[in-house]
């Protein structure tokens, strides 16, 4: 057990922020997260601290980086311009969100799946793939995200059972490309933002929006600004059609996350 005081950390907000499709909320108020072949259950304590059911070594090597706990998100909140009223409101409602450092491969597949799907539908598709093709993690009943070689070996009709629809060929081809270059993620991590985006666009099923999501959530390029239907709505209603990403060159993606969560909260798009 590892217990910590963590500012700007709200698991319910993170679980509902749409950046991660596998955090589960448990009946006792705790949440369970998965990363690679590890999982952890985090319980908010009455005194405001958080209890991680892992030892100090796992906390330091896996979960502290995964939850981006060394980043000062309060400073990011303070950097918001006073004139950006909607963003200020969003931060006030979403200050517990952090940008998780998730696995690039998992993000690539998850966000190819995400196109023209609701978040609950994305969750169930991702969970199907994990439950059927991911390695079990101890006796937790939880499975890791399936690796590229595994997905690459699946026939299309097996993928279709995950309700991938017309995306199944995208997933299959992308998995075959990734499996053919096992070090692709490490190679892409060394690229500039611009070159990284071009490299991601080479995968079938990856366009501008998905590339930005993989950059932001899988490669922690927090300047990347994914523009989806919700963000476009926000821009139309509150930013004269376009959010000034140039004002936040290093944190636009984090601002996007605050506003995405807040807009969906306003529209009562809560999810379990």
Q: List binders of DNA among 226-245 (CB under 7 A).
A: 226-231
* Strand-pair partners of 4: 50
Q: List binders of DNA among 60-79 (CB under 7 A).
A: none
- Tell me the C-alpha to C-alpha distance, in Å, between residue 129 and each of 60, 93, 143: 29, 33, 9
Instruction: Name the DSSP letter for residue 166.
Output: G
CB of 161 to DNA, least distance (A): 9
Instruction: Indicate the SS3 state at residue 154.
Output: coil
Which residue in this structure is represented by tokens 């929006």? 209
| CB nearer to DNA: pick between 59 and 133 | 133
CB of 139 to DNA, least distance (A): 26
Is 24 a residue of the active site?
no
Q: Where do runs of H (alpha helix) occur along the chain? A: 11-15, 56-58, 64-66, 73-78, 85-94, 104-113, 119-133, 148-152, 156-160, 168-180, 184-189, 193-201, 208-213, 229-238, 252-266
CA 31 to chain centroid, in Å, comes to: 16
| CB nearer to DNA: pick between 182 and 207 | 207
Q: List binders of DNA among 86-145 (CB under 7 A).
A: 114-122, 124
Q: Does 205 bind DNA (CB under 7 A)?
A: yes
CB of 253 to DNA, least distance (A): 9
Instruction: Indicate the SS3 state at residue 4.
Output: strand
* Strand-pair partners of 38: 35
| CB nearer to DNA: pick between 117 and 238 | 117
Active-site pick, 24, 117, 173, 209? 209
Q: List binders of DNA among 149-178 (CB under 7 A).
A: 160, 163, 165-166, 170
Binding test (CB under 7 A) with DNA, winner from 19, 32, 102, 172? 19
Q: Which residues are catalytic?
A: 209
Contacting residues toward DNA, per CB under 7 A: 17-19, 114-122, 124, 160, 163, 165-166, 170, 204-211, 213, 226-231, 256-257, 260, 269, 271
């Amino acid at each position: 057990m590892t217990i910590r005081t963590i500012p700007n950390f709200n698991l319910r907000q993170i679980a509902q922020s749409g950046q991660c499709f596998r955090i589960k909320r448990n009946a006792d108020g705790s949440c369970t997260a998965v990363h690679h072949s590890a999982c952890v259950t985090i319980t908010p304590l009455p005194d405001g601290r958080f209890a991680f059911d892992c030892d100090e070594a796992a906390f330091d090597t896996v979960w502290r980086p995964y939850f981006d706990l060394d980043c000062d998100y309060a400073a990011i909140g303070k950097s918001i311009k006073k004139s950006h009223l909607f963003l200020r409101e969003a931060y006030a409602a979403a200050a517990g969100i952090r940008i998780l450092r998730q696995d690039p491969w998992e993000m690539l597949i998850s966000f190819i799946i995400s196109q023209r799907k609701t978040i609950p539908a994305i969750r169930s598709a991702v969970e199907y793939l994990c439950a059927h093709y991911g390695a079990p993690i101890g006796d937790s009943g939880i499975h890791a995200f399936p690796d590229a070689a595994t997905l690459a070996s699946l026939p299309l009709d097996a993928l279709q059972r995950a309700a991938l629809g017309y995306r199944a060929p995208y997933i299959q081809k992308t998995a075959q490309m990734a499996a053919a270059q096992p070090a692709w993620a490490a190679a892409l991590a060394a690229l500039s933002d611009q070159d990284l985006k071009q490299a991601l666009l080479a995968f079938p099923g990856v366009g501008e929006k998905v590339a930005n999501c993989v950059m932001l959530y899988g490669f922690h390029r927090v300047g990347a600004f994914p523009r989806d239907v919700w963000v476009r709505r926000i821009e139309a209603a509150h930013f004269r059609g376009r959010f000034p990403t140039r004002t936040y060159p290093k944190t636009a993606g984090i601002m996007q996350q605050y506003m995405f969560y807040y807009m969906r909260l306003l529209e009562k798009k809560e999810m379990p």
